[in-house]
Structure formats: C-alpha cells, structure tokens
Amino acid sequence: MNILEEILEKARRVAQEAEVFHLEQVDTPVRFEANQLTSIDTRELTGVALRIIKDGRVGFSATTDLSDLDALVQAAVETAPFGAEAQFQFPEVQSVPTVPVFDPAVGDLPLDRMVRIGQQTMDGIRAFSDEVLVSGSVSRSSQTVTLMNSRGGYVQYAKSGFGIGFEGSVVRGTDMLFVFDSLSGCRPIGDSSPVVASIIRQLEYAKHTATTETKSMPVLLMPTAVASVVLSPILVALNGKTVVQGTSPLADKLGQQVASPAFSVVNDPTLPFVPGSRPSDDEGVASKRVPLIDKGVVANFLYDLQTAGQANAESTGSGERGLSSLPSPASSVLVVSEGQSSFEQMLAEMGEGLVVERLLGAGQGNMLGGDFNANVLLGYKVEGGQIVGRVKDTMVHGNAYKALENLIAVGGQGRWVGGGLYTPSIVCADIAVATKA
C-alpha cells in the first residue's frame, strides 16, 4: 500500500469522505547577481494535504513530515467540527484530457548549460550598455501531483518547468531605472534572446526623460500592466468566492456587457507545455477551456467544487491549492484575445498619451471595486504618435471596468507574461494621470 492509500484508509475510519493531495517537486534555480553567477540551489519539497468530510463538514490538515500519518489524520479530524459545510462530493474517477506538460529534456539539462544560458543573457544585455547591472535566474523544475479520494477519484501527472528571468538596473545619481523580462515554459528554453531584446527595448525607450501633465489621456498598457490594472481586479470579481459572497461587482452581471466588445478573455489550462496547464485541477476535476469575458459580456465565473456547490453551478476545473491550504478558485492560463493594431498604429492613434510598461502598487487599492491607483514604475510619454522618453513621479488612477468600456485599441500581437497569462497590449481612453512635474 502506498502512503496515499494508507492515509486514505486511516481517514476513512474516522470520516465519511476523504481526499489526499500529494506533491513532490524539485526546483533548481541558478542565480545571478550584479553580472555574476552567485549561487546554485536545489529546493526539494514533498508533502501531503488531507481534506476530510466528517458529519457534513470539511476538515483540513497538511504536513511535510510523512513519519507521523496518525497525527495528520488527527489534525484534520480536530478541525472538522468547525469547518465549512461541504457543498460538494469528491469527484469519482473521470476521464481527463491529455495535456502535455512534461518534457524529460528539462531534467536532463546539465547545470553548466544553465549557467551558460544565464551568462549569454547577461552578456547580451551588457553588449547594449555596460552601464547596466544585471541580475536574474535560470531555473528548471519538476513536480508530480497525485490526488486520490474516497470515491475512487484518482489523478496523477508530472510537470516540468523551465524559466529565464532577468532584471537590468541603471543608476545615475539618485535616478534609477529597473527593466525586467522573463520567459517560461514546460520545455527547455535554449535561446534567451527574446528576454535580451525586450530588456534592450525598455532601456532604449527609457533613455531620455520626458514630462507629462496632470490630466486625463489615452494610456497604452503593455502586457504586464494589462495584468495588474485590468486582469487582477476582473479575476477577483470572477472568482466563485466573491460571487457567492455577493461582494463581486460582476455577481449579478452574467450575460451582461461590462466591457468593450473588443475585449475577450478565456481560461484555458489545456494548452500544451504552458506552465499553468494541467490535465485536471487540484481537486481532480478535468481541465477545460472556459470563456470568462466574451466580446465584453460576462460568460462564466471560476468555480472550484465548494463554491460551485454554493452557487448551484458546476466546477469549472479551477480548484487551485498549495500544500498548506484548501483549494480555492483561481485562473490557470488566461488568454486575452488579440486585436488588429500594431504597436506603431496604437501610438499613432493615441497622438499624445502614456505607455505604461510596469506599475508599482496597482493591487493596493480597492481592487474588489476595480479601482487602480498606482505609481508608474516604468512608463513612456507619447507625443505626436512617438515615444519621447521615460516619465517619472507619475501616477495613474482609474477603474478597470471603466477602462475596459473605454477600450480604443487592442494589439495584434500578444505575449506571455509569466506562465499563466497571454495578452496583447491595449489602449484605454481617458485615464487620469497625476504628476508632480
């Protein structure tokens, strides 16, 4: 009997239903600081989480100490009398789609090869300017997820990961510039030139300093800014938890237009070799493609088993968890639909405006209501349809929903931001910009 079966059997002696989630992973980051290799790490994690349903209530415990399984079961039993009422049953065995997310080539990649990839990335950036100090990492990972429940449900899959992420910093007096980019996937990435090119592009745009005024203007959000300004609040509002709770501003808007028809986003964890993909979610529910906002209309909310039960809906296969807590609804792989405009066209149509590469503190405001209010960490002034330089001491302020109603262009070419988002740039009209200058 393996350890999962053993836990399940122990748990079933004291509870009606049980589920065991087992995670085993190894991450190996090769880290660079200030143009130098500084460390090589191996980070292993093995642990197990137990969820039980006892007298209709959910109990939970987790441990990385696999030597005392009785204590694990006992801890779950102890919490159950106070736990949430279970509004679901664990899924029985079901067919899950084939989603390739494992490539053995990742594990076979020697450490010195990873060191060389990092070195080449740093050299590439410093060839553009030796004023730049470069830090970052090249990392590989592998994990095996196993899930087993008392109704016969069973899922096991392996996932590999590879990532390259670098930051360049330029300091002149007390003027500081930080530029960043990364690439990730489930297969080895031998060529870091897209990261180098993106960092050089940011350095290029930021070479000159520009000023802006305090007023409303069109703002072009680059993919990273799309994530923080628009998608973060929308995801909170589409989350089954806030929907069930009634705090989501979209809770009663299913089927209604809340954004420009040019805006669509789906959650699709079935895309091959994307880090956020997987055959099933962390509760054993099969992965599927779920439209969230379709041509500006609210199409679906993201549910796990519990919130689906509360909402009288079906789980969308969106149960996400780490080792230490219960699953909760979350997106896995978001894909925002591309539009038609090239970057140059978008700048030309803006005439005068702001390009926002990255923000500082976008998630700190009233995100539930969609408000954003953030410092422009890296952004450029646009005049006469051209980028004229970097702005500083500047804040943008607005509301994600209003910004999406005022969407005036969607870029024709998207890109990945981390392992779970693909999006083009977008242009929103009338965003409030505040500055000291």
Partner 1 sequence: MSDTGLRERIQEALGSVSAEYIEVRVEESQGSHIRYRGKELEEIGRNSNLGGNVRALAGGGWGFACFNDISDLKSKVRMAVEQAKLVTTDRVELAPVDPVVRIVPPVLGKDPRTVPLSEKKDILDHYVETILSTPEVRSSTVQYGDGHRRIVFANSEGTYIEQERIDVTVRLAAMARNNGDVQQSSVSLGSLGDFGFVERLDDQAREVAQKSVALLNAPEVKGGPYTVILDPILAGVFIHEAFGHLSEADHVYNDPKMREIMVLGRRFGGEHLNVVDGASVPELRGSYQYDEEGVESHRTDLIREGVLVGRLHSRETAAKMGEAPTGNARAISYRFPPIVRMTNTFIEPGQSPVEDLFAGVKEGVYARNWYGGMTSMEMFTFSAGEAYMIRNGKVEELLRPVMLSGNLFTTMENLDAVANDLDMNQGGGCGKNGQSPLPVSNGSPHIRIQNCLVGGA
Binding residues among 79-108 for partner 1 as defined by CB under 8 A: 79, 81-84
- Exactly one of 190, 368, 384, 413 binds partner 1 (CB under 8 A); that residue is 368
Q: Name which of 339 and 420 has its Cβ closer to partner 1.
A: 420
- Exactly one of 1, 67, 255, 312 binds partner 1 (CB under 8 A); that residue is 67
CA distance 430 to 392: 19
The site string for partner 1 over 111-140 (x = CB under 8 A, - otherwise) reads: xx--x-----------------x-------
* Site for partner 1 contains 366 (CB under 8 A): yes
* Site for partner 1 contains 373 (CB under 8 A): yes
Residue 112, Ramachandran bin (φ over 0: left; ψ between -120 and 50: alpha; else beta):
alpha
In whole angstroms, how close is the CB of 165 to partner 1 at the nearest point?
Answer: 11
Q: Name which of 337 and 399 has its Cβ closer to partner 1.
A: 399
Q: Is 157 helix (H, G, I), strand (E, B) or coil?
A: strand
In whole angstroms, how close is the CB of 84 to partner 1 at the nearest point?
Answer: 6
CA distance 146 to 154: 8
CA distance 168 to 365: 28
* Site for partner 1 contains 374 (CB under 8 A): yes
In whole angstroms, how close is the CB of 336 to partner 1 at the nearest point?
Answer: 23
The site string for partner 1 over 265-284 (x = CB under 8 A, - otherwise) reads: --------------------
In whole angstroms, how close is the CB of 385 to partner 1 at the nearest point?
Answer: 26
CA distance 59 to 63: 14
Nearest CA to 202 out of 169, 226, 175 is that of 169
What residues contact residue 88 under an 8 Å CB cut-off, 6+ apart?
305, 306, 308, 309, 315
CA angle in degrees (0–180, nearest 5) for 284-302-76: 50
- Exactly one of 16, 256, 324, 340 binds partner 1 (CB under 8 A); that residue is 324
DSSP state of 338: P
- Exactly one of 3, 71, 93, 127 binds partner 1 (CB under 8 A); that residue is 71
Q: How buried is 255 (Cβ within 10 angstroms: 0-12 exposed, 13-18 middle, 19+ buried)?
A: exposed
In whole angstroms, how close is the CB of 433 to partner 1 at the nearest point?
Answer: 8
Residue ranges in 16-45 that form contacts with partner 1 under rule CB under 8 A: 33-34, 36-45
Q: Please, which residues bridge with residue 431 across strands? A: 217
Candidate ranges 100-108, 152-160, 347-355, 367-375; the one touching partner 1 (CB under 8 A): 367-375
Residue ranges in 206-245 that form contacts with partner 1 under rule CB under 8 A: 214, 241, 245
What residues contact residue 340 under an 8 Å CB cut-off, 6+ apart?
410, 412
